[in-house]
Copies of this chain bind each other. A is one copy, B any other.
Amino acid sequence: MKKYFYFSMLMIVSGIFQAPAQESLSTQDLVSPEVGKDGRVTFRLNAPEIREAKLTGDWMPQDGSDRAAAAMERGAEGVWTYTTGPLPSEIYWYHFLVDGVRTLDPANAHTIRDVASVFNLFIVPGDPGGLYSVQPVSHGTVHKRWYDSPGLGMKRRMTIYTPPGYEVSGQEYPVLYLLHGAGGDEEAWSDLGRATQILDNLIASGKAQPMIVVMPNGNPGDEAAPGHATGPLVQPAFMRPGMMQGDYITSFGDIIDFVQSNYRAKAGKEHRAIAGLSMGGFHSLHISRYYPETFDYIGLFSPAIMPRNNEEDPAFRNMDETLKAQRDNVYELYWIGIGKDDFLYDEVTAYRKRLNGMKMPYEYHETEGGHVWHLWREYLSIFSQLLFR
């Protein structure tokens, strides 16, 4: 009776959902990617009818705007495979090229969007891959919340991370404002940047203080990330209206006010940090200067420094004077990180000379690598451990 009962359930349940049946059984049974204990990763694609399969991933070398692609090998019954050399622990992105067409791996449902490109992802365990993975620790809460920005004249969406125990502790917490780069939005740091996992894990191990992390949308013409804004679904663009103008900087007080009045956020600059990558580094530089006595911790991750001076936009006026005022107000940490191969390297070197010239103290962290998420996750991991001590 019991056996029949479970058999009936299986028969009915198996029929409940139709869509996966569109995949052939052989595709469903393929394991791809398969991450070996030695860090070698094998990819498999069931495609008997194609002429050529390639694979490209973010661990492969990049030459200008072209990423290298590796040929996959056709095996028995048209299953194409490719195995990497040992990859260091990390979270990686990849996609296939099927007779020249960009294709996701049908055997891997884990995807991520970066601007207008969707990738598959996988994790090679270890360090730092483990830091970017969900671990058996207490987890914070991720909120997708809309706030009113009088400065930009619209309601806008943000991502807010509250640390484990926030809802029941009754305590106030310090706040890290964490800003995305050009082409990004309020989903970038939580999804591409693994900020949720990084904070959960560093807080659990006592390496980072429990903190609120606020991840707003840095495109002042946009309400929200693609798919979450009013209006038709449009293809995400790298360049957004007003992206590099000062409106986001001069209206950033709307976000701070909202957080202070809607979350148990500690008041005072010693409890506030701001950091961002690329355009978000540019934003962090200018916001921390524009709002004096507001942030004790500033992080510029591979920052875009420009524009240097632009007296026409209130956000960029009196650059030197306001930097000196920021210096004289004193802060705990002004942290700059950049990779040696970053195309912004010279810009950052020039900015460091400027800071040196005005005796504005900062901590400088130079690494291998270019302008990539791999480094920004690493920078967040380092920077967040230095905060609120």
Interface residues of A (CB under 8 A from B): 2, 5, 8-10, 12-23, 27-28, 31, 35, 45-52, 56, 58, 62, 64-67, 98-104, 106-111, 113-118, 121-123, 125, 133-136, 138-139, 141-146, 155, 157, 164, 167-168, 181-183, 224, 226-233, 235-236, 238-239, 243-244, 262, 278-279, 304, 306-307, 310, 312, 343-344, 347, 370-372
Is B5's CB under 8 angstroms from A307's CB? yes
Expressed in whole angstroms, the Cα–Cα distance for A229 and B262 within the complex equals 29
- Nearest 10 pairs of A and B residues by beta carbon: A21-B65, A139-B146, A142-B144, A102-B106, A49-B100, A49-B99, A103-B103, A50-B99, A47-B101, A141-B145
Please, which residues of chain B bring their CB within 8 A of the CB of A28? Answer: 116
Is A47's CB under 8 angstroms from B100's CB? yes
> In angstroms, how far is the closest chain B Cβ from the Cβ of A49?
4
For the complex formed by this chain, how many copies does it contain in all? 2
Closest B residue, CB atoms, query A122: B233
Is A109's CB under 8 angstroms from B98's CB? no
Is B135's CB under 8 angstroms from A146's CB? no
Please, which residues of chain B bring their CB within 8 A of the CB of A155? Answer: 138-139
Is B21's CB under 8 angstroms from A181's CB? no
Q: Beyond the given A12-B347, A21-B64, A49-B101, could you list 13 further A-B residue pairs with CB under 8 A, ordered by the A residue number?
A: A13-B182, A13-B304, A16-B279, A16-B344, A16-B371, A17-B181, A18-B370, A18-B372, A103-B103, A109-B118, A134-B224, A138-B155, A142-B144
Closest B residue, CB atoms, query A228: B134
